[in-house]
Every structure is written in structure tokens, then in C-alpha cells.
Amino acid sequence: MRSTKDSPQGSDSTIADVAAAVGVSIRTVSRVLNQSPKVNAETRECVQKAIAALNFRPSMRARAFAMGRSFLIGMVHNDRNALVLDAVQRGIVGEAGRRGYELVVHPTPMDAAASVEDVLQFVRRSRTDGLVVLPPVSGIAGLPEALAREHIPAVALSALPITGYADVILSPEREAAAQVARYLLDLGHRRIAMVGGPANAISAQERRAGFVEALAAAGVTLLDEAEGDYGFQSGLAAAERFLSLPTAPTAIFAANDVMAAGVLKCAGIKGIAVPQSLSVVGFDGSLLSHVVSPALTTIWRPFGDMARIATQQLIDRIEGQTVTAELPPPLRLVEAESSGPAPA
């Protein structure tokens, strides 16, 4: 191997300069840059030292052209919850950046036919190498099959298994919601209401099913329930109805933290003390659960870990590598200030 002592310096160095400095082919340098296993350890080390000495920065455009890829990962969503999206994006960006990819974010409508075509058009325009698909979009009928026909690898986040995606990162939300029900029952609550999410969302269906089933196992039925849209106003409106009943609930479970914040707002307006007279539990464990007062008891979901694992598995598939098997941390109940024993 040649010395890099007399090699050109500076950010204008090319891959040819690196190859010449080490005495190898441009293809060998390219293989090192792309982490190919076809280069022996000694040569790899020499090439990496030359890259550092020459301050060589490979062109992403040239790399993409040479490998027939864009090195772009798409994230498709229909979620107004900025705090959840931020956590997911951080998880994707961290893993994608580590592997040499960048993120492109695309919101899509929830109408099935329009959404499928919209996602396909996004993929064609952006030339993304693959997609991470967030709920509720991941549950849209026909989407995984349409992506497969276009040969676009996609990994979904979902509360239930979905056929057609390359991989699905599961969030067992039914059991987590059941945990909330058992927690409230243990606190002595029997007059319990729930504000759920949109009826067509898999996550909302799973959370309601788990909660109602766990109550039924204890011989308890919901005092009242309302369908929300995962937004603040729907939580506020549901709580207004619940708390105006002749016999009001002593506990309200909201299927996400944003709606739970609406419940807390309504209780404050009505002068109902939380948790002395009313317990409130949310779902997500987002930053919002710490910001509201009182701090919200909630189900914590590992958004960042799920997004990181989804991105890792997606890039493994894009690059033809063995898919890394990893499970995200379990969902868990985080007890805070908004819940307590049922009033006497």
C-alpha cells in the first residue's frame, strides 16, 4: 500500500485520489464507503485512513447514481399530534443518518383510494428507496399490496399484524388498555367513562377492546363512551357530556394524551378536582403528559425505539442484508398526578 504523505489535501479530493493514494481500484474504495464485506480488514483500514487524511467527502448524488438508489427514506403519516410525530421522526432520522440515508416526510389523506394513489405518487416523485408507514395510514386497505406491486419495501407501525408489508413493528395496545382498566378497578372506580379514537382506526379499536374486555371480566360496564378524533376538542366535548350526567363518572380513560388534556381542561372549567373527585388516564406517554397540570397518568409508548427498529429493518431490506430482529420495549403504565382512589 502507498503512503498518503504526498497525496492531495482538502475537501476537493476525489474517490480517484483516495484510490491512487492507497494503490487500489476505485471500485475497492467504493466498496469500503458502502460497507461491503468484500474488502479485507487491512485494505479497509488503509482506505479509511486515506479518506480521513484527504478529507474526502463522497458526493451523495454520485453515490446514489452509482448504486441506483436515492438514499432517501419516506415517512408516510396522517397524524396531527406533533409530539408523537417528533418522537417518531427522531427515531427514524437517527438510524437513517447512521446508515447514510435521509428522511422525507409525507402526510397523506385517510380516504382509502385517494391515500393509496397519493402515496404511490409521492414515491414516484421523491424516488424514495423505501417507506416507514405510520398508523392509521398503515391500516389502509390495499396500500401494502400497491407498494409491493411497485417493488417499494415498506415497514409499518401498527397495533395489529398486517399482511403485505415487508415487516410490521407491533405495539400491543389492547393489553395496555386492559392494564388501564385493571388499574382503575384496583383504585376502586366503578363509574368509568371512555373517550376513544376514530372508529375506523386500528389503534382505537384495539384500545377500546382491551379496556372494555378488562372491565367486563370484573363485571363492570362503561358508564358512557364517546368517539373522539384524537384531538383536544373531542376530548373536551366528551368530558362535557360525561361530567354533565346525573351520576357522573369518577374516572375517564382517554385513548390518547391529547384528548386526556381536553378532559382535564373540562374538569378545570367545571371546578372538578383531579384526582380527588375525578381520575383521568391518557395513552401515549408524550411530552404533553408532563406539561399538563396535574401531570397525566398514561400508557407510555416507545415511539423512538419503534421508529428506529422500523428504519433499521427497512434499510436492511433495501441493502439486501439479513434483517435485524429486535423487539421494542413494552408499553407500560406511568402513574402520575391525575389518578387516585375513587371518591367515597
Quote the pLDDT of residue 62. 54
Strands, sheet with 192-196, edge to edge from the N-terminal-most edge strand: 224-227, 192-196, 251-254, 279-284, 297-300, 332-334
| Residues, the chain | 344
Looking at 3.40.50.2300, 3.30.565.10, 3.40.50.2000, 1.10.443.10, the CATH number of the domain 67-171+303-329 comes to 3.40.50.2300
Phi-psi region of 175 (alpha: psi -120 to 50; beta: other; left: phi over 0): alpha
Give the Cα separation of 309 and 307 in Å (integer): 6
End-to-end Cα separation, the chain, in angstroms: 83
Query: The domain at 173-301 falls in which architecture?
Result: 3-Layer(aba) Sandwich (3.40)
- Domain 1-58 and domain 173-301 have a common topology: no
pLDDT in tens for each of the 344 residues of the chain?
444 444 444 457 788 888 899 999 988 987 887 777 788 999 999 999 988 888 887 665 555 555 556 789 999 998 878 889 999 999 999 999 999 999 999 999 887 778 999 999 999 999 999 999 999 999 999 999 999 999 999 999 999 999 999 999 999 999 999 999 999 999 999 999 999 999 989 999 999 999 999 999 999 999 999 999 999 999 999 999 999 999 999 999 999 999 999 999 999 999 999 999 999 999 999 999 999 999 999 999 999 999 999 999 999 999 988 888 888 999 999 999 999 999 98
Give the Cα separation of 232 and 185 in Å (integer): 26
For residue 2, give the DSSP letter.
-
Give the Cα separation of 240 and 228 in Å (integer): 13
* H or E element at residue 16: helix 15-22
Predicted model pTM:
0.79
CATH topology classification for 1-58: 434 Repressor (Amino-terminal Domain) (1.10.260)
Measured over the CA atoms of residue 63, residue 69, residue 70 and residue 76, the dihedral's sign is negative
Quote the pLDDT of residue 2. 46
Please check whether residue 189 is in contact with residue 279, taking contact to mean a CB–CB distance below 8 angstroms.
yes
Domain ranges of the chain: 1-58, 67-171+303-329, 173-301
Nearest to 248 by CA among 180, 181, 342: 342
